Structure 1
Amino acid sequence: MTPSQERAWEDLGPRYLVELPRGHAVTSISEDASLHPAEAFGRDAPLVVEIGSGQGHAIVHAAKERPEHNFLAIEVFRAGLARTIIRADWAETENLRLVEANAPEVLDQALPAGSVDELWVFFPDPWKKSRHTKRRLVSEDFVPTAQRALKSGGVLRLATDWADYAKQMREVLDAAPGFERDFDGDWAPRFEGRVLTAFEEKGAKAGRDIRDLTYRRTEASL
């Protein structure tokens, strides 16, 4: 990390970071780790969770615009979390917390089942090479994780600039019990709550279409 990121981590980290007991790997959490939103935020409020929050552009902007919600950013890269902390401090957000860990573990083990109102997966790593596509986050294996985390009626929002990954996401969620489309046509309209980032602009300038998907959690398989 840069010196400014190191300082933010040390000085501001205690305000924003939720520390969870560790498992064997650096970004793993122990099986008995728990994260109770009311304790972490000091209040009860609708909870929005972003998987892979990067440098925090989307979630910090949303936290500032929607103070009535709680926002939880889950990311494995410490430098990105440090940048998020800096942005959160600039924005003076009080409703944002961060976790340094593998997101599926946090959703499967630490958060209470049915505690998430919105789950965001924006521009996850597409693992472009064909031999690596099995590493993609949004696959059949991801479905039970999202099902457990979201409350009935909760929303799963996805976006990618990689065409075949967008199709994979749609195929997986269309076939998933416990989810139904929350859009008409082939793709959902762009989520207005997602701030336009340099990453998204770069993809658009390269000629890649930005595709959004929105699914709602149903009673099935609860």
Structure 2
Amino acid sequence: MPSGRVARIRTFHPRRGRLSGRHLDALERLWASYGLTVPTPEGPESDRPDAGRLDLVELFGRTAPVVLEIGSGMGDATVAMAAADPGRDYLAVEVHTPGIANLLALTERQGLTNVRIAQGDALDLVRHLLPPDRLDAVHVFFPDPWPKPRHHKRRLIQPAHVALLRSRLVPGGTLHCATDWPEYAESMRDTLTADPELVNLFPGFAPRPAHRPVTKFERRGTAAGRPIRDLIFRRR
């Protein structure tokens, strides 16, 4: 008998992967210091998150601008950016456990103190845990393009999600997206342009910024002959 609950539309594919001994060790030793689990609204009432309850100053141990990295993958790009940008703190969100473990190991290896890792749905994190007007930047690099038209509703960059992400930016904060799928790039540009509180910093697409490291998704797209497109918008 139907429960009446509306199924949630995920913007990502949950993926499984085997953990190496190094990754298991990193999770066991480092998660308590660097990690946090994003609660889901379907959980027990006592476990449901309250809007804006995550104290970023407490999380990082200092007051600094915060960058939200959505979909950090194996963490190489996040670590490279955080290492080159010590004045800002980086909160990476990922669902793939081997990627999270690898990011933990890389963070320790680099001796970084400005990286934290959240496991779970980025939209749940933003919606329920992050206060408005708090983030200096949001990075969405190579999200799942969901290329089939019937799956476009699962794309991360769509009007309601953009409005949510933008609301967590400080005025002047940036939303930086990148993709190697031409049709998704056009859709991203149109969606971001349509938001009345965002301003495109470049006419059309942005030139590739030097601060964004090359990722495996970018190399894969380049090898397949797909153009890489960056979009950088600023909150008014």
Contact 1:160-1:210 at 8 Å conserved across structures? yes
Q: Which of 52, 61, 81 pairs up with 1:62?
A: 81
TM-aligned CA distance change 1:19 to 1:134, over 3 Å? closer
Q: Distance in 1 between matches of 2:103 and 2:49?
A: 27
- Partner Cα separation in structure 1 for residue 178 and residue 191 of structure 2: 14
129, 136, 158: which one aligns with 1:139:
158
Tell me, what secondary structure is at the counterpart of 2:123? helix
1:154 maps to what in 2?
Answer: 173
In 2, are the aligned partners of 1:46 and 1:117 still within 8 Å (CA)?
yes
How far off is 1:20 after superposition? 4.8
Match of 1:36 among 25, 49, 55: 55
The aligned runs of 1:103-122 (5 Å cut-off) are 103-122=122-141
State the 1:58 CA deviation: 1.4
Matched pairs, number: 214
The 3-state SS of whatever aligns with 2:105 is: helix
Percentage of identical aligned residues: 40
Instruction: State the match for 2:194 in structure 1.
Output: 175
Aligned equivalent of 1:90: 109
Give the TM-score taking structure 1 as reference length. Answer: 0.91
**Counterpart code for 1:43:** R
More deviation, 126-135/92-101: 126-135
Asked if 2 retains the 8 angstrom alpha-carbon contact of 1:60 and 1:84, the reply is yes
Q: Counterpart of 1:76 in structure 2: which amino acid? A: V
Deviations 1:123-163 (A, max 9, x none): 00001222212110000121221122101110000000000
SS of alignment partner, residue 18 of structure 1: strand
Q: Report Cα offsets for 1:164-201 as digits up to 9, x if no partner.
A: 000000010111121011112x2101121111123211
Confirm whether residue 128 of structure 1 aligns to residue 147 of structure 2.
yes
* Match in the other structure for 1:79: 98
| TM-score normalised to structure 2 length | 0.86
Amino acid at match of 1:8: A
Q: Is 29-38 or 79-88 further displaced after alignment?
A: 29-38
1:196 is the counterpart of 2:214: yes
Q: CA deviation at 1:78?
A: 1.6
1:61 alignment partner AA: A
Structure 1 unaligned spans of 5+? none
Q: Report the alpha carbon displacement of residue 83 of structure 1 after superposing the two structures with TM.
A: 1.1
Aligned: 1:14 with 2:22:
no
